[in-house]
């Protein structure tokens, strides 16, 4: 029997999954961040680390599994939905969330193809 989740439960699942994907891809075991804005530079420790990052990025931009307990959506769109209408927050956090939602709206939804990602120059 299919279980229906509340909006709050869906929010928790989306936040946890997005957090884990971002945490696995953007960590110091995989890359080094040097410089300061606007001249920040990201260098991967090896080509294997760069490939791992690309896979994690494609996962983040992909839709959730159809068998997942939440509606199929990209993790980025899931974060946008949470930012537009948060359920686990205080009034101050809602204000910050609204700002975060505006920032997320600036990120294109179109998913890059793997060949496009692999062609981009990552090393300076």
Give pLDDT, residue 45: 92
Give pLDDT, residue 50: 92
Residue identified by tokens 């299919």 is 2
Whole-prediction pTM = 0.65
Q: Where are the domains of the chain?
A: 7-119
Whether the pLDDT of residue 15 is over 60: the answer is yes
Q: Among candidates 122, 124, 104, which has minimal Cα distance to 52?
A: 122
Cβ-proximal residues to 87 (8 Å cutoff; 6+ apart), any chain: 7, 8, 11
37-95, pLDDT tens digit by residue? Answer: 778 898 999 999 999 999 988 888 888 888 888 888 888 888 888 888 888 766 666 66
Give pLDDT, residue 42: 87
CB-CB contact of 58 with 117 (8 Å): yes
């Amino acid at each position: 029997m299919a279980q229906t989740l509340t909006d709050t439960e869906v929010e928790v699942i989306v936040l946890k999954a997005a957090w884990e994907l971002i945490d696995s891809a953007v960590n110091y075991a995989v890359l080094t961040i040097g410089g300061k804005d606007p001249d920040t530079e990201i260098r991967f420790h090896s080509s294997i680390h760069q490939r791992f990052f690309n896979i994690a990025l494609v996962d983040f931009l992909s839709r959730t599994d159809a068998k997942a307990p939440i509606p199929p959506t990209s993790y980025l769109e899931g974060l946008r939905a949470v930012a537009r209408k948060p359920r686990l927050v205080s009034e101050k956090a809602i204000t910050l969330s609204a700002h975060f939602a505006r920032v997320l709206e600036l990120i294109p939804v179109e998913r890059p193809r793997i060949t496009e990602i692999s062609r981009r120059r990552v090393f300076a």
